[in-house]
Structure 1
Amino acid sequence: MAAYSTRGVHGQVVQSLGARIVGGAVPEGATLDVRALGEELDVSLTVMRESLKVLAGKGLVDARQKRGTFVRGRKHWNLLDADVIRWRVEGGAGEELMRDLADVRSIIEPAAALRAALHRTDADLGALEAALDLMGRARADSAVAAEADAAFHRALLAATGNEMLARMDMLLEPGLRERDRLVHAHASVGDPVPSHRAVLDAVRDRDPARAELAMLGLLAKAVEDLDHVTGRTADPADRESPHGAR
């Protein structure tokens, strides 16, 4: 689910229009004057059409005879797309997105940790250890720390031995990367290594109950870190249960 909008002139147009749409500057249902936009962005109609095809693939726009090209309703947007996630963050909806992500993770990852403890291989342990080692060495570089964090959770899903669970990285990773860039950029946030180490140790020991509890603890810390970064005080119910994420 790699971002498109870093690629040349097409990427610049995709970035500009996508950010406007997701950020609300161009409202749902609005008809786009493709020629005028091309003149504004100083690109040809060919570039505009190709860029709009990319945005159509993300569910943001569509084209119909007599109506022209228009912005689709939010229910049609691919909210799991890496660019759409980034544009939401840039548009000020980052905290809402991160709390939705926390809810989804609380459903998937404790069960994945439990299953990983039952089915992991030595190769899986090696991948988890490598990611954790990089995480420990990358505290001063938020981008590298975010990559290491994503690699750890990707390796954990793979360690379940379930191909469908392993592909849940496509669901979680784009949002997780944005969350980690936000959180790891703050030096005041606690060291993420111990909570991840607890999960790895339980998986290595083939202790599924402990692995599940360790992941619940990791997710509780993730919510605490997000609260710290955003200046929000967690609700008492959130503190009482690792599942609390809102």
Structure 2
Amino acid sequence: MQQYAARGVHGQTVEVIAQRILTGQFAEGSTLDITALQAEFDVSLTVLREALKVLAAKGMVDARPKRGTFVRPRADWSLLDGDVLRWQFARAAQPSLFEDLHELRSIVEPGAASLAAVRATDADVAALDAALAAMAAAGSDAAAAVAADLAFHRALLSATHNELLVRMEVVIETGLAERDRMVHGALGTDDPVPSHRAVVDAIRAHDPASAADAMRLLLKKAFDDVARIGS
């Protein structure tokens, strides 16, 4: 578990078991050999049980009398959980997962932009402007560009003043961070500011239709960037 050393023993154990489930090494329905895992990871039974509790809370494993601890079907997993999403994206570039993310964003974010155009306060617009400024200042710094992009989309959802939409940031940000890291690493030269500024300008003008349209164009560009990398 050396590659997970920075996460502590508990975190390492959770991550390793999760990755084995995601890769099918621990197949759906299979029973985990707790004694063998404890020996392999060289951890206490308490640490192992606590790690399994984390995965149980995410719907990935369950424990039953006479059956032991087993891997639950994927349909039972909390796929919108931030850790589960991160683990999936971290495995490798997965076109189907990025396509699912794009479809989700295409449904949520144009509507969010439209709502923000109606509800955004001066403080909300200032937060969007700050994200744009950070995006422009990032230049070729991929990490800074990713952080600025995440700040923009977080500010957009916040500007809707809808608690349920704000909670979508966990899903959108987790996938977006992986998408941004991949795109900035491979392309790196495209200026993201104009497409994002169009959204902010429409929100500032309190124009819901234009805000939604600008967001759709931004999302199309984002999807095309991923498609170019995969081609």
Same fold (TM over 0.5): yes
Partner of 2:185: 185
Partner of 2:109: 109
Secondary structure of the residue that 2:62 maps to in structure 1?
strand
Structure 1, unaligned stretches of length 5 or more? 232-246
C-alpha separation in 2, matches of 1:210 and 1:170:
26
User: How far apart are 1:50 and its partner, in Å?
Assistant: 0.8
State the AA in 2 paired with 1:8. Answer: G
User: How far apart are 1:93 and its partner, in Å?
Assistant: 5.8
Higher helix content, 1 or 2: 2
Kept after mapping to 1: 8 A contact 2:38/2:44: yes
State the AA in 1 paired with 2:226. Answer: L
CA RMSD of aligned residues (A): 1.7
C-alpha separation in 2, matches of 1:51 and 1:189:
42
Residues 141 and 23 of structure 1: CA distance in aligned 2, closer, same or farther (over 3 Å):
farther
User: How far apart are 1:52 and its partner, in Å?
Assistant: 0.7
User: How far apart are 1:189 and its partner, in Å?
Assistant: 5.5
Secondary structure of the residue that 2:94 maps to in structure 1?
helix
C-alpha separation in 2, matches of 1:28 and 1:189:
42
Residues 93 and 182 of structure 1: CA distance in aligned 2, closer, same or farther (over 3 Å):
closer
Asked if 1:199 is matched to 2:199, the reply is yes
Partner of 1:161: 161
Residues 142 and 57 of structure 1: CA distance in aligned 2, closer, same or farther (over 3 Å):
farther
Partner of 1:209: 209
Residues 43 and 101 of structure 1: CA distance in aligned 2, closer, same or farther (over 3 Å):
same
Secondary structure of the residue that 1:62 maps to in structure 2?
strand
State the AA in 2 paired with 1:104. Answer: L
User: How far apart are 1:66 and its partner, in Å?
Assistant: 0.5
Residues 113 and 6 of structure 1: CA distance in aligned 2, closer, same or farther (over 3 Å):
farther
State the AA in 2 paired with 1:45. Answer: L
C-alpha separation in 1, matches of 2:57 and 2:144:
29
Kept after mapping to 2: 8 A contact 1:85/1:175: yes
Kept after mapping to 1: 8 A contact 2:140/2:188: no
Residues 110 and 7 of structure 1: CA distance in aligned 2, closer, same or farther (over 3 Å):
same
Kindly provide the CA deviation profile for residues 159-216 of structure 1, in whole angstroms up to 9, marking residues without a partner as x.
Answer: 1232332222233222222222222222346222111011011111112221111101
Secondary structure of the residue that 1:185 maps to in structure 2?
helix
Asked if 1:15 is matched to 2:15, the reply is yes
Kindly provide the CA deviation profile for residues 11-67 of structure 1, in whole angstroms up to 9, marking residues without a partner as x.
Answer: 011111111101212111111011101111111111111111111111111110100
- Equivalent residues in 2 for 1:101-180 (5 A)? 101-180=101-180
Identity between Structure 1 and Structure 2 (%): 56
TM-score (ref. length: structure 2): 0.91
Secondary structure of the residue that 2:69 maps to in structure 1?
strand
Q: Which moved more, 1:14-23 or 1:183-192?
A: 183-192
C-alpha separation in 2, matches of 1:139 and 1:94:
27
User: How far apart are 1:6 and its partner, in Å?
Assistant: 6.0
Kept after mapping to 2: 8 A contact 1:139/1:184: no
User: How far apart are 1:108 and its partner, in Å?
Assistant: 1.0
Partner of 1:48: 48
State the AA in 1 paired with 2:78. Answer: N
